[in-house]
A and B are shown apart, each in its own frame.
Chain A
Amino acid sequence: MTAIGDRAPSLGLPDTDGALHDLDGAPATVIVFTCNHCPYALAWHERIIDVARDYAARGVRVLAINPNDAERYPRDSVQEMRARVERAEFEQVPYLRDESQEVARSYDARTTPDVFVLDADGILRYRGAPDSDHDDPSQNGAWLRGALDAVLDGRSPDPAETTPIGCSIKWRA
């Protein structure tokens, strides 16, 4: 399990076009485990895309990762992921497929969504929910934005850890 202050596991995952993405030393990187079928992930989705857009100029990189078992949950197939990308639901955020679920396991991801913020050295600085209420758009990803502001300013986020809320990750049997 990766704890706050630990170096985050490396990753190399394909997006919906097959291009590989890894951690590239951006000033801050947001990793969001998400999916297509979970109402919590969908309710928070636009707020996370807003964060990606608002922090892009500061070099922040956002990676969305779908680790769910698509055999039991066909809505999480690569084809369904690609359809959402083609509808421009992810804007500039790569939507990556964790087919083996190894990345999700290495991060000890629990839910969709589950958010991790890494600093430029790949150290985990925040983990948890995007904000305190999936049902309140005015929250605007406040915890995630606060964590990014702190990391970009060289401070420790407060809170550094919150409880991720959402659908359990659909592990392979």
Chain B
Amino acid sequence: MRIELLFWAGCPSYPKALSDLRLALVESGLDPGCVIVSEVKYEGDAAAERFVGSPTIRIDGVDVQPPLDEPVGLTCRVYRRRDGRISPTPDPADLRDALNAASRR
């Protein structure tokens, strides 16, 4: 399973996202050290990576919360928690579900 976290350093949310992701990996019985962390520094890189904001987490290439019509760019990404709140990081339950779905594929 390929697990990637892409971040832009201009947004302060990625340490928490990485921590949440690693915890979800542990809870799913997976290696928390397997995350490939990549910094997106330039607008051109954001376009090439289809990076719609920081953090972006992909499991086997599938976004844990697939973006709808967000433009690519260097920005903080908006996530919706399961209770409807807006957050800079994905809902941990979405991370666990994405890991479980990937393990079944």
Contact = CB atoms under 8 A, between A and B. Distances in A.
Interface of A: 37-40, 42-43, 72-74, 134-135, 137, 165-168
A42 B79 CA distance: 10
A37 B87 contact: no
19 contacts: A37-B76, A38-B76, A39-B13, A39-B76, A39-B78, A39-B79, A39-B86, A40-B76, A40-B88, A42-B86, A43-B88, A73-B73, A73-B75, A74-B71, A135-B85, A166-B12, A167-B10, A167-B76, A168-B10
A85 to B, nearest CB: 18
Contact of A42 (B10, B75, B78): B78
A165 B13 CA distance: 10
Interface string B63-105: 0000000010101111100000111100000000000000000
Given A134-B88, A135-B87, A39 B77 contact: yes
A38 to B, nearest CB: 6
Contacts of B86: 39, 42-43
A134 B11 CA distance: 14
Interface residues of B, number: 15
B101 to A, nearest CB: 24
A42 B86 CA distance: 7
B12 A165 contact: yes
Nearest to B13: A39
Contacts of B11: 167-168
Contacts of B87: 39, 43, 134-135
